[in-house]
Structure 1
């Protein structure tokens, strides 16, 4: 085996965006019919990844009339301080709002995309997870459909729970009256009680 076959190349170390999609009616509609589900697509880092319903204008398209022609764009960038390829997300929809981890973006507004982000627009939820790589000129995208809402799966919502009051334990009854009057105490093996 020669050296060129064993060396790692830039193609082996591409940054990958894992995009996991969910829509409440995805089972009865062919919403993802134009997406390359389950396989990685390689993209040039100098072109934005656009997602919307207009297949010719977007890199990837959703088959849904309620999605804007151009819904959102992901722009790759690098900083002098980091070898990682990073991304910003931009809302391209004039009529729809887009949220990133509960932060709303208006038309043409953009923000840095964290390593793990929950994106919402319309009834869609997208969980985007960035897997680091060392390549500078390109990156990969892999689409997957989730059976359960990612906001439930990742606990991005706060469930309402009834608070539970800590009343101490029954062990307090075994302490002398002068210690019980002080209130709940932490116990350990080294606590000495008069007998």
Structure 2
């Protein structure tokens, strides 16, 4: 039988952390993030959903914006037998607005597993959530930061742009150096007649 002190989480346990980077096009002119503890980690119990929205009493963290739903979204921690680390789901709590997670749109009460790195959009807000793993089972940390440019611009900048050319079946990757550019057919049609 385990001792109670062996079951409790110790101070040395590395807590999983959700780094949440926020952006809104009018964030400099409004005090949207006044109620959010920016730049410092806050501990949160894993059994409770972490809610973000306009209502400071119903949500863990509140945005000062009347266009945000009272309860906008929830992050819920969970464990599986196959994964040693803490995993998370994200759920849309807004009846009025869709929530976008990378390229997946969520309607009211729909939820999806949160990837290690996710671009979240609702209204004019963009959030980049990056998950750091840890050994702790009973709690996790959340750290908020404000970005000066939209995270969608940052995440799209690292993806090579591919320009298809439909009439030849060729494509050119514009963002790669010359020696790495690929120019040529994507597939061949064996029934096409070639004249030389």
CA RMSD of aligned residues (A): 2.4
Structure-2-length-normalised TM-score: 0.76
Alignment of 1:19-58 (within 5 A): 19-58=20-59
Alignment of 1:91-102 (within 5 A): 91-102=92-103
Alignment of 1:31-180 (within 5 A): 31-155=32-156
Alpha-carbon distance in 1 for matches of 2:98, 2:70: 14
- Gapped regions of structure 1 (runs ≥ 5): 1-7, 167-183, 185-195
Alpha-carbon distance in 2 for matches of 1:165, 1:151: 23
- Gapped regions of structure 2 (runs ≥ 5): 1-8, 166-170, 174-183, 185-196
CA contact (8 A) 1:10 1:134 kept: no
Alpha-carbon distance in 1 for matches of 2:10, 2:172: 58
Query: Measured at CA, do residues 165 and 67 of structure 1 come closer, stay the same or move farther in structure 2, by a change above 3 Å?
Result: closer
Alpha-carbon distance in 2 for matches of 1:88, 1:23: 23
Compare CA radii of gyration and give the structure with the larger one. Answer: 1
Q: How many residues align?
A: 160
Structure-1-length-normalised TM-score: 0.76
Alpha-carbon distance in 2 for matches of 1:149, 1:62: 17
Alpha-carbon distance in 1 for matches of 2:58, 2:83: 32
